[in-house]
Homo-oligomer: A and B are copies of this chain.
């Protein structure tokens, strides 16, 4: 296997996806459309309370690695599972998708799961039990994979693990020593809020490319008064950024360039889970093969469009066939 061009680092999660109405989200005290962190007991009681579900491998950065492989790229994934049923499912699915995943195993904790509730507005509200992911350490940052890659991609959610910031630093050190570009996903507006100082310092010091959405950008620049102002300030933190705007499309920016790509308005949106992850997959796939910002944002839109047309954050179609 050639050294993957893009290596993503994140929480290794199996998604448990069910439909729910807004009243349920409210009654359960969840932050809607956000990633809510829960413990094992809460995961059990919440599972008992939800409707019929399906299980699909997930995890933000893992979804991105799978998307890149599905587009025809070479990708790898770094994350931690346990040797349990959900861990076997996670490992099978990501490996079968063509992603290079040398698994790291936690000794005691269970493989992480996220109970994802999809409301009639197609928004997803996540309830994540991190389990084995909480034990990720800098030693798990596979030096060979990151050193051999053109890009390493770190999800913001990693900051929720005790040694997440140290993992970020270790990944950045390996990247710098080996001319590997560093990209970061902002992941979630509340996650940006939780880890604001450490995350923004990392972005400014080590990051070549930021991926995020409008809400996350707002959390990044809470005192700025408009989207344009926020976009204009991105070069303070990274040379390049791609920001998704939901149904309004997306914008890719550098200090000198700004391109906008429309969303596909023709499809029926079923479940927005993974939209940002697959956008990131398409964008990174384009950039690692030297496509323009605009073409990369177009590929990103194609990948995100496929993922929101069905339940689950892993592609069901062959994305490479959609590139034209």
**A contact residues vs B (CB 8 Å cutoff):** 18-19, 47-48, 50-57, 66, 84-86, 89, 92-94, 96-97, 310-312, 314, 316
**Measured between alpha carbons, how far is A94 from B51 in the docked complex, in Å?**
9
Indicate if the CB atoms of B316 and A96 lie closer than 8 Å: no
A interface: dominant SS: mixed
| B55 pairs with A55, CB closer than 8 A | yes
Cα A305 to Cα B92 in complex, Å, equals 31
**In contact, A312 and B96 (Cβ under 8 angstroms):** no
Q: Which of B51, B55, B84 contacts A54 (CB 8 A)?
A: B55
**18 A-B residue pairings within 8 Å (CB atoms):** A18-B96, A19-B316, A48-B92, A50-B96, A51-B96, A51-B97, A52-B57, A52-B66, A52-B94, A52-B96, A52-B314, A53-B89, A54-B54, A54-B312, A54-B314, A55-B55, A84-B85, A311-B316
CB distance from A66 to the nearest CB of B (A): 7
For A19, the chain B residues whose CB sits under 8 A away are: 316
C-alpha spacing A19/B314, complex, angstroms: 13
Say yes or no: B92 contacts A53, CB within 8 Å.
yes
A55:B89 contact, CB within 8 angstroms: yes
Pair A93/B310 contact, Cβ less than 8 Å: no
List chain B residues, Cβ under 8 A from A84: 85
Residues of B within 8 A of A52 (CB): 57, 66, 92-94, 96-97, 314
Q: Using CB atoms, name the residue of chain B closest to A57.
A: B52
**In the complex, A310 Cα to B311 Cα: how many Å?**
9
User: Measured between alpha carbons, how far is A53 from B86 in the docked complex, in Å?
Assistant: 12
Q: Lowest 9 CB-CB distances: which A-B pairs, in order?
A: A55-B55, A85-B85, A52-B93, A54-B56, A52-B97, A52-B96, A51-B96, A54-B54, A52-B314
